[in-house]
Each structure stands twice: as C-alpha cells, then as structure tokens.
Amino acid sequence: MIIVGGSSSRDLAKEMASILDCTYIQAASTKFPDGECYTRIDTESLDDDVVIVQNTYPNDNLIEMFLLQDAVRRLGAKSVTLVVPYFGYARQDRVFKPGEPESAKVMCRHLNMGCDRIITIDIHKEVVLDNFDCPHTDLKAAPVIADYFRDKKIDLVLSPDIGAAGRAKEVGERMGVPYDHLEKTRLSGTDVRIAPAKMDCTGKRVLIVDDMISTGGTIIAAASALREAGAVSVSVACTHGVFVNNAIERLTGSALDTVLCCNTLENEVSHISVAGIIADAVRKG
C-alpha cells in the first residue's frame, strides 16, 4: 500500500502511513502564474494499492484531488482509495430554487470517476455518499474526541442544539459523564436565554461538541451563557475547524477555556488526530 498526501492533509497522511507502516509519498503541488493548479507525484511507478489523502475544500484542493486521481492511475495504481477528511460542498445537498445545481451530487459524480473506494469523516449528511457507485464509509470522530478529553476532568458534555444531541450522547457515554443539549428560550423580543435543556451546569467543567465550527458565533454565545450560569470552565471541540473570518482569534478571546478540533482541516488548534480511525478503516478494506 502507498499513501499519497495532498497539499491539504500532509501531516494526517504522514501519520496514517506511519500507523500502517507503508510507503508515503508527498505530492508536489504549486500554481502556475495564472492561478491554475499543478501537481506531480515524484515516482516512476505506483504498482500497488494507493490511498490519496486530500480535502475537497476549498476549491483549489478539489481541483488538486481530481488531478491526483488521474496521476496515480497513469502511474499504474492497482486500486485507488480516496480519504477525504473534509468533504467540500456536502452541505449543498438539496435544490431549493429553480436553476440551482445539486452541488454535493455533482462533486460525488466527478470524484467517482477516478476511485474504487471513498472514506470521509463526519460528512454533513451521510446520504450524500450514496451518489458514489463505489463502496463508501463515513467515520465518526466522536470516539477520538472523547478519548482526548477523557483525562481532562470534564463533568458535562453538551451539543449546541438538539440536532447534534446524538454526538454529545456518544462522547458523554464514552467518557462516562452526563450529556445534554443546549436550548434557546426567548425571554422577550430582544433577550434569549441559552442553557442546558435538563442538566445544571453550575460548578461544572463543560465540553461543547459539534461536527463543525465556521464563524464560531453560536459557540461564543453559548460559552458566555454557560459561564454566566455558573460553569467553572467551558471547552469546545469539533471535527471540522473551518474557522472563517478570524474565528479562531474570536473563539480564543471569548469565554472559552479551550478550543480544539480534529486534524481533518489542519490549523493551529487541530490537535485531535483521526489518523488512527482512518488507518483502521483502510486496513480493513
């Protein structure tokens, strides 16, 4: 087996190769003066099963993935598995107005042309993967998040809303601590109370878990409300740290004590590794 790392997932790909004790090749990627993507895999042949590790977000990384698929096929890969830690366009899975594309399906169709299997992590909606003709697996990061915080003396695990309550349940049960979801209650035309639906957070060390943080506004408001309600500390961990518009700076400067994410998107707070669960999935075939 050979692991090929794309430019978006260098550290994750290297760690996977180390766990699997297999060959690692870092693809060279750059841009032409006009902004077009150039990539090359510096080897004479890939006469083996190949795993490409590369995000499809933002757009440049998506183009790079398409090019890498073609490159490994040309080098003689026996099979091609795509590991897409963060699947771009997965949230655009429905058509709301006439004239809109079903973007998630479009991406699946194009990626499908050059792969034999695909592995994702906490994709926004798992049903999106049904657009692939090849075998597909969506891995869950909740266990690795729970294991990371197991010795951090967390008393209560919360999700930002009832829609993500299942994630809080999975993390809480694995850690052996209570779990709940946050609930917004409108007190007046301008005032909204944010608090756990059932549990009391007074005197507790709280961990908020979610699949993704983008702007961070909801998490910042929740952390402030929890501290005002008596929480001793508030930490947040997500699978995908998208962090747009200086979100990391705003999150770390808020009422939060700890801000962490998995290394599906590599950044300064992506200290929770999903390499182990991906390696296990690749090994099982």
pLDDT at residue 285, rounded to an integer: 81
Answer yes or no: do 205 and 250 share one domain: yes
φ, ψ (nearest 5 deg) of residue 33: -55, -30
Residues 157 and 89 in one domain: no
pLDDT tens digit sequence for 196-213:
999 999 999 999 999 999
* 157-216: pLDDT as tens digits: 999 999 999 999 999 999 999 999 999 876 666 666 788 999 999 999 999 999 999 999
* 26 and 11 belong to one structural domain: yes
What is the Cα–Cα distance from 240 to 21, expressed in whole angstroms?
A: 26
Catalytic residues: 184
The overall average pLDDT reported for the chain is 95
pLDDT of residue 184: 82
In this prediction, residue 190 carries a pLDDT of: 60
Q: Is 131 a domain residue?
A: yes
Mean pLDDT of 53-80: 97
**pTM score, two decimals?**
0.94
Q: Cα-atom radius of gyration of the chain, to the nearest Å?
A: 20
Residues in the chain: 285
Query: How far is 220 from 112, CA to CA, in rounded Å?
Result: 38
Instruction: Examine the domain organization and report whether 94 and 176 are in the same domain.
Output: no
> Residue 79's domain is classified under what CATH number?
3.40.50.2020
- Render pLDDT for 214-260 as a digit per residue (tens, 0 to 9): 999 999 999 999 999 999 999 999 999 999 999 999 999 999 999 99
